Structure 1
């Protein structure tokens, strides 16, 4: 039986770097695309290193050829100028989806963000959490781009019959410590991230789905029901790190899903 080939865009970014060793497994080849330099294949991993931009149709056509599934992490991961956000996150995602469609890729996972709904108030969450499909209320140009990515995913699922799962990622880092107290709410551990992506890759015929990408944190305000319906089970909890963090968020962080993004200047690059 031929190996499963999973294409990951933005493979040199924070999430892509964390997922690379965790998504490697026997019978699978990871095809890793990024503009940035990537480590060469290790002796114990089946990877194909590709260099190029998600904005380039020729590049995307080439890397999609022969792929069975796509995890689209490529793009600006923080606030940036409107032009850069439009060119890379929005137009780039359409380029990616069109190349995937033309190559016959049937399973696509798109990285969205809590910032697509950043101006939702934390108090809107019920006992089970804020639903994964709550309508967008973006907090930045970055958040707008993620809302558009979600809409593009819906379009390609509905019009072309592709299975498209959109993951509204909270914050995926090795630990929640760099995030401050908000990390106790939004953290997606790398291991849980891999568990979630595996569930997204293997769930039978999901159609179009929105799910939250967070761990089962004691203080989370996000519903995990939708992700669990795909087979995801979180094993981690940011509360493990609570003693290493200040536990009182700022008023903005406490009020809005998007935290400090709700008051950050629009269009100014944030390197964090």
Structure 2
């Protein structure tokens, strides 16, 4: 593992993961630039805030300028209709990578999602090398982001880690979390490993998950080489939760109506 970069931009810094990392990992970074379309609260001495709309390439270029790495967290965070997703989650991820190319920023930690493989069976162990089977438009948009990340690594030489985030929660609160939980402490360890990995890694996909006894996800050899060593285990909370019984890893996210955009065609017909 190499050292941490001195100057790091965090997009979507007002969200749950960004807010958590400000209290842990980002305290180790010399200069942190926080970016979002909404306020992020009081900036610490080593932080600055740059408001940027991910759909505006010029604004994104200004945000990434002078940085050594970008932690890309920004975007719509759950399933919704295509019109709501296409700006930040499609155009936005392209703008981040294009801005990094134009401004000479060599590393991106691209926040993807476990929802990219939600239609894999619940009993199958995944390592990031399997085919994507997104459980909705949100997951499909994340698959697009990973494809863009791979292309920018291969064609332009960026180092990119795409992190398929699990269920980021203070504690597991539903059966699925026994398999998917990512604790705040492990999130800090995860993003630190991604930022500190040596140059020349290309594009690597890693599952962002704690050391859960029942985890559905392992890491490929390339992902393991990044040095992420989770410590927390959802099993500590297993006595509070029922077993998971859904057929797919995505659970409720695989349901026909989830997200509200895909009502059944005959739903408004009168019997």
- The answer on 1:214 being equivalent to 2:216 is no
- The answer on 1:195 being equivalent to 2:197 is no
- The answer on 1:265 being equivalent to 2:257 is yes
Cα distance in 2 between the residues matched to 1:214 and 1:229? 16
State the Cα distance separating 1:87 from its structure 2 match: 1.6
The within-5 A match list for 1:108-147 is: 108-125=108-125, 130-147=126-143
Structure 1 residues without counterparts, runs of 5 or longer: none
**What's 1:55 paired with?**
55
Whether the 8 Å CA contact 2:167–2:182 is kept in 1: the answer is: yes
Task: Give RMSD over aligned pairs.
Answer: 1.6
C-alpha deviations, 1:35-75, integer Å up to 9, x for none? 11111123xx5111121211111210111110100011100
SS in 2 for 1:234: coil
**What's 1:28 paired with?**
30
SS in 2 for 1:210: strand
Greater C-alpha Rg: 2
Cα distance in 2 between the residues matched to 1:26 and 1:237? 25
C-alpha deviations, 1:70-127, integer Å up to 9, x for none? 01110011001111111210111001110111110111111111111111112332xx
Whether the 8 Å CA contact 1:40–1:49 is kept in 2: the answer is: no
SS in 2 for 1:122: coil
Cα distance in 2 between the residues matched to 1:26 and 1:10? 19
Whether the 8 Å CA contact 1:15–1:173 is kept in 2: the answer is: no
Cα distance in 1 between the residues matched to 2:217 and 2:46? 35
The within-5 A match list for 1:75-86 is: 75-86=75-86
State the Cα distance separating 1:159 from its structure 2 match: 0.6
Give every structure 1 segment of 4 or more consecutive aligned residues whose post-TM-superposition deviation is greater than 6 Å: none
Structure 2 residues without counterparts, runs of 5 or longer: 262-271
Please, which of 219, 222, 237 is the counterpart of residue 233 of structure 2? Answer: 237
SS in 2 for 1:232: coil
Higher helix share: 1
**What's 1:184 paired with?**
178
Alpha carbons of structure 1 residues 266 and 239: separation in structure 2 relative to 1, 3 Å:
closer
C-alpha deviations, 1:150-204, integer Å up to 9, x for none? 1000010011010011011111122122xx1111110111111111111111111
Q: TM-score, normalised by structure 1?
A: 0.89
**What's 2:11 paired with?**
9
State the Cα distance separating 1:141 from its structure 2 match: 0.5
**What's 1:247 paired with?**
242
Cα distance in 1 between the residues matched to 2:258 and 2:178? 26
Please, which of 147, 153, 157 is the counterpart of residue 151 of structure 1? Answer: 147
Cα distance in 1 between the residues matched to 2:122 and 2:138? 20
Cα distance in 1 between the residues matched to 2:186 and 2:224? 12
Cα distance in 1 between the residues matched to 2:31 and 2:260? 37
Cα distance in 1 between the residues matched to 2:20 and 2:47? 14
State the Cα distance separating 1:233 from its structure 2 match: 0.6
Please, which of 149, 169, 172 is the counterpart of residue 168 of structure 2? Answer: 172
